[in-house]
Amino acid sequence: MGEYAEFLDDKTQVGAEHGFEPTWMPDILFPFQVALTEWGVRQGRSAIFADCGLGKTFMQLVWAENVARHTGGRVLILTPLAVAFQTVREGEKLGVEVAHRREGRKSGDRIVVTNYERLHHFDPDDYTAVVCDESSILKNFDGATRQAITDFMRKRPYRLLCTATAAPNDYIELGTSSEALGDMGATDMLQRFFKSISGSYARGGSGGAGPKRFAKDRAYTGNFYLRPHAEGDFWRWVCSWARAMRKPSDLGFKDGKFKLPPITVRSHVVRASRPRDGYLFDVPAVGLAEQRSDLRNTIDERCGMAADLVNAHDAPAVAWCNLNSEGDKLTRAIRGAVQVSGKDSEEHKEETFAAFIAGDVRVLVTKPSIGGFGLNLQHCAHQTYFPSHSYEQYYQSVRRCWRFGQKRPVTVDMITTDGQENVLANLQRKAEQADGMFSQLVGMMWQAMKIEQKDEYTQKAGVPAWL
């Protein structure tokens, strides 16, 4: 009986049924930030999907301060690696005291920030609320780390998820976000709103396209598609716990200064000095094994091209790489470059990121999985990028520099090979799909919000529900 009770306790979601009216809202916030933060406080448990540069750090800090004042408890903010120091700095602008801790809380702490990798040093019972900054990064962690974060959040009365990309073309992520907030789980979401793709579509019939061909007709995730008659209910359900926006006008506010500068994406194709083993000349790589072979075969040419482009000026730049060997070659070839790799200590990573932002380091060399989330690099307007199949990594990496607050046009040099045509085509397809799906998400959410406002007016006016 004791083991069963423990099993039930492990599955239990504990939290406030509702939030509360905010008591503090600083004048420094823009109107759309005020609206989103007030909504989040009233919800108690919610998600804010706001694009890069829209002030998510301000919003989550004001949310945290309201929770701390209302409950008298502590708030833990979890961030990607090396982002914590930015949170502390933003707190100073708001007059909110934020303690950056690596080994657990100290006496007197109210709002604490740490990175996800340090969570094991913190006791969940010490906190009333938790904020997951750049929450879409959670899927990049191993299963044990994701489970530890889920367990930590599950019994916190107040929870907030913040991210720029909720991967709107991946409905499963919406389900896992909902589950983390104590709402409907991903499996229940699929059962309620989606239907399994069956027949020739699921088997890849009618030309062998499978779900990709099916997606032209309906929104899908994996082998499930959104039931047409449930589409409105689905987005209204998402709207009940999340808000999404790419610019203030998405939610009816004036964009004002929130306008992105021009961006130029230049494509550079390098040729290997010799074809891959078994070929007389380069052909598009098919499958991951051939693509990896192609990358290894062109590492000198690709890194040489990136170095030439970055050494052509003395301005700040980021050179994104995917392999340690690429990072080492880029660091040696680029003037004033410092590398941040996975094997480096957390202290080195944070110090290097801070030095780059301060202008003490001219060129940052790192992987999208390490520096692609959360960092504000508006002082930099040039990137070189070795593309992969991950659209989210590409989007997040580019948006470190091309974000609201950037004052100059941004240039991204995409460096690829003759053999990587399939990779670029797949990345372009994902970009178009994500853009369309996010536009749909925002549009549906806007409609759902108008319905909510209408329902609220009806209730306040005492109009019978049937009208």
Q: Tell me the domains of the chain and their CATH numbers.
A: 2-183+240-256 (3.40.50.10810), 263-426 (3.40.50.300)
Asked if 253 contacts 33 with a C-beta cutoff of 8 angstroms, the reply is no
Residue with tokens 């609320």: 129
Q: Which of residues 245 and 281 earns the better pLDDT score?
A: 245
Asked if 328 contacts 339 with a C-beta cutoff of 8 angstroms, the reply is yes
Question: What CA–CA distance (Å, rounded) separates 147 from 126?
Answer: 19
β-partners of residue 320 are 366
Query: Which residues have CB under 8 Å from 243's CB, separation 6+?
Result: 36, 39, 40, 46, 47, 48, 49, 50, 251, 445
Asked if 169 contacts 430 with a C-beta cutoff of 8 angstroms, the reply is yes
pLDDT given at position 82 = 78
pLDDT given at position 168 = 47
Query: For strand 382-385 and strand 410-417, is the pairing parallel, antiparallel, or unpaired?
Result: parallel
Furthest C-alpha separation in the chain: 79
Indicate the range of 26-35, 53-62, 320-329, 389-398 predicted with least confidence.
Answer: 389-398
Question: What CA–CA distance (Å, rounded) separates 114 from 78?
Answer: 5
What sign does the CA torsion over 166, 167, 169, 174 have? Answer: negative
Q: Which of residues 405 and 296 earns the better pLDDT score?
A: 405
pLDDT given at position 62 = 98
pLDDT category, 16, cuts 50, 70, 90? Answer: very low
Query: What is the tens place of the pLDDT at every residue in 369-425?
Result: 899 888 999 999 999 999 988 888 898 899 999 999 899 999 999 999 877 777 788
Taking the chain, what is the end-to-end CA distance rounded to the nearest angstrom? 52
Asked if 368 contacts 391 with a C-beta cutoff of 8 angstroms, the reply is no
Question: What CA–CA distance (Å, rounded) separates 448 from 237?
Answer: 9
| 6, pLDDT greater than 80 | no
Query: Which residues have CB under 8 Å from 67's CB, separation 6+?
Result: 41, 73, 75, 128, 129, 158
Mean pLDDT, the chain, whole residue set: 82
Structure tokens belonging to residue 430: 């994902």
Asked if 302 contacts 311 with a C-beta cutoff of 8 angstroms, the reply is no
pLDDT category, 199, cuts 50, 70, 90? Answer: very low
Indicate the range of 173-182, 262-271, 436-445 predicted with least confidence.
Answer: 436-445
Please give the model's pTM, rounded to 2 decimal places.
0.82
Query: What is the tens place of the pLDDT at every residue in 232-245?
Result: 788 888 888 988 88
| 37, pLDDT greater than 80 | yes
Question: What CA–CA distance (Å, rounded) separates 8 from 245?
Answer: 37
Strands of 194-196's sheet in order across:
194-196, 224-226, 220-221
Query: Which residues have CB under 8 Å from 352's CB, separation 6+?
Result: 338, 340, 344, 361, 364
Average the pLDDT over 354-378 and give the result: 93
pLDDT given at position 151 = 85
Asked if 167 contacts 136 with a C-beta cutoff of 8 angstroms, the reply is yes
pLDDT given at position 417 = 86
| 460, pLDDT greater than 80 | no
Q: Which of residues 445 and 78 earns the better pLDDT score?
A: 78
Question: What CA–CA distance (Å, rounded) separates 420 from 105?
Answer: 48
Query: Which residues have CB under 8 Å from 306's CB, separation 6+?
Result: 319, 330, 333, 334, 384, 386, 413, 415
Question: What CA–CA distance (Å, rounded) separates 176 from 172?
Answer: 6
